[in-house]
Amino acid sequence: MDGIKADYTLELQSEELENLVSQAMERISPFIDGLGDQPAADVRGGEELARSLAESLPTEPTPFSELLNLLFGRLIPKTFNTAGPGYLAYIPGGGIVHTAVADLIADSVNRYVGVWAAAPALAQLEVNVGRWFCDIVSYPEHSLGLLTSGGSMSNLIAIVTARRNKLPEDFLSGTLYTSDQTHYSVSKAAVLAGFPPSNVRVVPSDGRFRINVEQLGEVIRADRDAGLRPFLVVGNAGTTNTGAVDDLTALADLAQQEGMWLHVDAAYGGFFMLTDGGRKVMNGIERADSITLDPHKGLFLPYGTGSLLVRDGATLRRAHSVRAVYLPNTEHEPDLVDLSQVSPELSRAFRGLRVWLPLKMHGIGPFRRNLEEKLQLAEWITEQLSRIEELEIVAEPQLTVLAFRLRLRGQDEESVNRLTRQFMDEVNARRRVYLSSTVIQGRFLVRICVLSFRTHLDRMQMALEDIKAAVGKVMK
Amino acid sequence: MDGIKADYTLELQSEELENLVSQAMERISPFIDGLGDQPAADVRGGEELARSLAESLPTEPTPFSELLNLLFGRLIPKTFNTAGPGYLAYIPGGGIVHTAVADLIADSVNRYVGVWAAAPALAQLEVNVGRWFCDIVSYPEHSLGLLTSGGSMSNLIAIVTARRNKLPEDFLSGTLYTSDQTHYSVSKAAVLAGFPPSNVRVVPSDGRFRINVEQLGEVIRADRDAGLRPFLVVGNAGTTNTGAVDDLTALADLAQQEGMWLHVDAAYGGFFMLTDGGRKVMNGIERADSITLDPHKGLFLPYGTGSLLVRDGATLRRAHSVRAVYLPNTEHEPDLVDLSQVSPELSRAFRGLRVWLPLKMHGIGPFRRNLEEKLQLAEWITEQLSRIEELEIVAEPQLTVLAFRLRLRGQDEESVNRLTRQFMDEVNARRRVYLSSTVIQGRFLVRICVLSFRTHLDRMQMALEDIKAAVGKVMK
């Protein structure tokens, strides 16, 4: 017993922790205040920088201040500025800093919420958050909401849940249906969940990039006639390409009629259910069996918080429930939710606090108002761009994504694509906004997605100026 | 355009953020310093408390100070004190507060690391961490390490990866092999990955709770003769029940001979590879095709950081790689790793920093020394308990878990179980340590798992005192 040597190095006391926090805050504060002035993206030399960082397992300590210098001085600047107001690429969210405070607390107290017995009240906060999300999409009382690490994981859990409820045994002839605009995480999830890639049927979309429901019905019936087992329709409430929202009522009717599970991928669009405009566009979503929506998109949280809602909580439980002899038995309290019994994860982070805290601090009002503002901003920029003769709006915003390209008469597709890319590079080179692209039916399109809580009209005006300047440069 | 109203409520400036952080620190600091004096667990009234928290979506703001009072004053105290030195239940880790600082930074800057193009240097930090873990288990150069949300997710990814590499098409006759001591997340993952529950073969363990390899070989051969397709053996490096480590060399030989994938669940035990004792016990682990190990266990991180290592990185890529037109194309830099191409997640938290920061700040030394200390503490308490006539050590520690029960001559099994449970409740009622239980072959066993970086000899002495007192009370 004399031979046992304790090591207290890792056991920081409050004074040391406070010191680290205050050193970190000295870098975070100017970073936050300066977000509007930082380039919207700068990754020049990023690859070489990345390669230069490869190193073996550290054996020696490095002072914290040196690590902060490295992070804030060299590594963080060489990125897409996903937190900044000019980030209009992919699907931005911004990242409210309330979550940083929530995680500071959650990590410090390090409580375990996978079974409610270990932290009943904290587990309940997470259950509350799921409940709130269910309310937002007008789900009934017996629905259930989970927090996940992101939309891909939510889609995977949804597909597994649909599979286990609809095709509990041999499912290899089970087929699922997406549009040609569906996010790739759906077909990826289908394959991870065990389906042959060819069982994922891709149905064409219409001129507004919404699934052709009539054609979908025909494909389903043909598959059924061929001995396959159609079991799942995946609808979109805000595609990544153009923000298109499928006709969810028509999909719900069809799914009901065919006895199929309807999953709606609303990772990007879902929280627009907080707005009147969004509720109109997504009408019918409440009839879906499950819905993916991402707080790190429409609630502006930092990356790492997705969610999955199911209309009937029992379906999640049926898909995931397992008992183990070394876990606390909690079946005697059936009204309390064991998160590990309704999801694939047993141990995992306490994600509830990062959503609960900002919603409690502010109420839902500012979130709703921000989303309304983004809808208006997307409309405004579309209106402005439509006045520019040299641009063609290919997808008007159904929510807050729009897609456009150069209008070049008498040029072949390849030239238009090449020049449109050159145009986008010109816009991005000005570094006040950052736009991304997609390719639909061979057409290279520039996208704008307005979703960050830090993006306001002033930044959209900069976007407009830079777009006009780039048009001038490329078309001269 | 005049009609667009901006809402800045969520857009905290540095002053407001600093204010929130300092208010939070006023609660976190005494919490951290007082961890040793807090009860090891207290959930009395927790269920009623949880129920009282149910509320609908908040529409009004609540002052931050009030929320902190609720959290620190009422909710956090009613939990298992998973961060404290007396937490010897389940698998503790403690939760080093360095991670709280790392997440404060990561959430504030909100960078995206799912594709390296968006943040090459930060993605590289995460790749470095995976590399370090591979080095720790003596994996070769072409191995690859991922950070996940926890062990369940790592096991799920491993099973899907094994399935897609070994049985790329129809896999419903594929069988996998575990011992009767394997964590339930493995069979759960198998079912989520599409296997019928009966395809998970459970092979008995020996007197030390290690899988019977000879019998395993027989079951595999019988299955193969019956037309099934054995493809995956799951070995344990530290079971949850008793911390048992299977004969990994024998498993590797068998898997090789049978052309099967060997996955080792080292969620708890893996980081003991940093110690001489651990390397001896887990000899052969480097021959596994994949390994689950949980930084939120053996590296003492807060919950929410698991990892999966694969010996051949190409297997992960084969299982998960998909291209999408709206993502940056990064195939021209094959030496840089796109985390979304080798895992199921596209968007997700920047988990790299929470591991990288403490390892850089301290080097690996203190982590290794803490693990060595825990090995000695487990040995010490076993030695002490073995001197108590009324106790029977059922599982000696192979790493740092031990299991024991009351020794009651002439009593039937049921009485021994009942009294042993009563004994455990007596120990826990003293609130200096918290122990959990398991049931093996009908025998109720009390477990001790020494793993928190905050647990030292003084706390183990308290455990011993409380155990002695409880023995006295129950046996009187």
pLDDT at A1 over 60: no
On whether the CB atoms of residues B279 and B136 are closer than 8 A, the answer is no
pLDDT in tens, A118-146: 999 999 999 999 999 999 999 999 999 99
On whether the CB atoms of residues B118 and B346 are closer than 8 A, the answer is no
pLDDT score for B322:
74
pLDDT score for A323:
66
Q: Which amino acid is at A102?
A: A
pLDDT in tens, B319-342: 998 766 666 666 666 678 889 999
Q: Select from A95, A136, A192 the Cβ nearest to the Cβ of B110.
A: A95
Residue B70 to residue B80: CA distance in whole angstroms: 17
Helix (H, G, I), strand (E, B) or coil at A144: strand
Residue range A241-262: average pLDDT?
A: 98
Helix (H, G, I), strand (E, B) or coil at A117: helix
What are φ and ψ of residue A82, in 5° steps?
-60, -15
Residue B269 to residue A26: CA distance in whole angstroms: 38
Q: Select from B25, B152, B320 the Cβ nearest to the Cβ of A344.
A: B152
Residues 135-164 on B with a CB inside 8 Å of A are 135-136, 149-153, 156, 160, 163-164
B chain contacts of residue A171, beta-carbon cutoff 8 Å:
194
Q: E strand or H helix at A94, and its extent?
A: none
On whether the CB atoms of residues A270 and A291 are closer than 8 A, the answer is yes
DSSP state of A72: I
Percent of chain A past pLDDT 90, that is, above it, reads: 92
B chain contacts of residue A33, beta-carbon cutoff 8 Å:
13-14
pLDDT in tens, A163-179: 999 999 899 999 999 99
On whether the CB atoms of residues B289 and B233 are closer than 8 A, the answer is no
pLDDT score for B321:
82
* Cβ burial, residue A441 (10 Å; 0-12/13-18/19+): exposed
Tokens of B347: 């968007």
The nearest CA of chain B is from the CA of A230 a distance in Å of 17
pLDDT score for A230:
98
Selected for mutation to probe chain B from A60, A104, A155 (highest B CB count within 10 Å) is: A104
Residue range B335-350: average pLDDT?
A: 88
The DSSP bridge partners found for residue B306 are B148
pLDDT score for A335:
75
Selected for mutation to probe chain A from B23, B97, B321, B380 (highest A CB count within 10 Å) is: B97
CB contact under 8 A, B344 and A28: no
Q: At what angle do helices A98-109 and B98-109 cross, to 10 degrees?
A: 160
What are φ and ψ of residue A32, in 5° steps?
-65, -45
Residues 296-335 on B with a CB inside 8 Å of A are 296, 300, 302-306, 319-320, 322-326, 333, 335
Q: Which amino acid is at B318?
A: R
Neighbours of B365 (CB within 10 A): 15
CA distances from residue A64 to A75, B29, B408 in whole angstroms, order as listed: 15, 19, 55
Task: Look at A62-71, B114-123, B187-196, B332-341 and tell me which has the smallest mean pLDDT.
Answer: B332-341
Residue B91 to residue B94: CA distance in whole angstroms: 10
CA distances from residue B71 to A253, B59, B98 in whole angstroms, order as listed: 45, 20, 21
Q: Where are the alpha helices (DSSP H) in A226-309?
A: 248-258, 276-281, 295-298
CB contact under 8 A, B31 and A109: yes
Among residues A343, A359, A289, which one has the least CA distance to residue A132?
A: A359
pLDDT score for B52:
97
Q: At what angle do helices B352-362 and B98-109 cross, to 10 degrees?
A: 130
CB contact under 8 A, A347 and B101: no
Tokens of A134: 């269910």
- The pairing of strands A306-310 and A401-406 is unpaired
Residue range B209-233: average pLDDT?
A: 98
DSSP secondary structure, B402-452, as one string: EEEEE--TT--HHHHHHHHHHHHHHHHHT-S-B-EEEEETTEEEEEEE---
Q: What confidence tier does B455 reach under pLDDT thresholds 50, 70, 90?
A: very high
Residues 353-372 on B with a CB inside 8 Å of A are 354, 357-367, 369-370
Tokens of B206: 């020996």
Q: If you average pLDDT over every residue of chain A, what do you get?
A: 96
Q: Which amino acid is at A79?
A: T
On whether the CB atoms of residues B115 and B327 are closer than 8 A, the answer is yes
ipTM computed for the complex: 0.97
B chain contacts of residue A381, beta-carbon cutoff 8 Å:
none
CB contact under 8 A, A362 and B151: no
pLDDT at A105 over 70: yes
Q: Select from A13, A122, A351 the Cβ nearest to the Cβ of B33.
A: A13
Residue range A267-276: average pLDDT?
A: 98
Tokens of B150: 């926890």
DSSP state of B344: S
pLDDT in tens, B276-313: 999 999 999 999 999 999 999 999 999 999 999 999 99
What are φ and ψ of residue B290, in 5° steps?
-150, 155
Percent of chain B past pLDDT 70, that is, above it, reads: 97
pLDDT score for B336:
81
Neighbours of A331 (CB within 10 A): 9
Q: What confidence tier does A190 reach under pLDDT thresholds 50, 70, 90?
A: very high
Please tell me which residue of chain A has the smallest CA distance to B159: A192
Tokens of A165: 């409820």
Residue B379 to residue B359: CA distance in whole angstroms: 27
pLDDT at A450 over 90: yes
CA distances from residue A379 to A65, A272, A391, B65 in whole angstroms, order as listed: 45, 15, 16, 39
Among residues B37, B42, B30, which one has the least CA distance to residue B76?
A: B42
Neighbours of A389 (CB within 10 A): 9
pLDDT at B1 over 60: no
CB contact under 8 A, B75 and A6: no
B chain contacts of residue A53, beta-carbon cutoff 8 Å:
121, 124-125, 128
Selected for mutation to probe chain A from B78, B127, B326, B454 (highest A CB count within 10 Å) is: B326
Cβ of A344 under 8 Å from any chain B Cβ?
Answer: yes
pLDDT score for B3:
84
On whether the CB atoms of residues A364 and B55 are closer than 8 A, the answer is no
A chain contacts of residue B5, beta-carbon cutoff 8 Å:
369, 373
The DSSP bridge partners found for residue A359 are none
Q: What confidence tier does A348 reach under pLDDT thresholds 50, 70, 90?
A: confident
On whether the CB atoms of residues A308 and A157 are closer than 8 A, the answer is yes
Kindly give, in sequence order, each residue whose CB lies less than 8 Å from that of residue B418, ignoring residues fewer than 6 positions away: none
Please tell me which residue of chain B has the smallest CA distance to A299: B10
- Name the percent of chain A in helix, strand, coil, to the closest 5: 45, 15, 40
pLDDT in tens, B20-40: 999 999 999 999 999 999 999
B chain contacts of residue A447, beta-carbon cutoff 8 Å:
326
Residue B116 to residue B128: CA distance in whole angstroms: 13
Q: Select from B11, B76, B191 the Cβ nearest to the Cβ of A454.
A: B11
Tell me if the pTM is above 0.95: yes
Please tell me which residue of chain A has the smallest CA distance to B454: A11
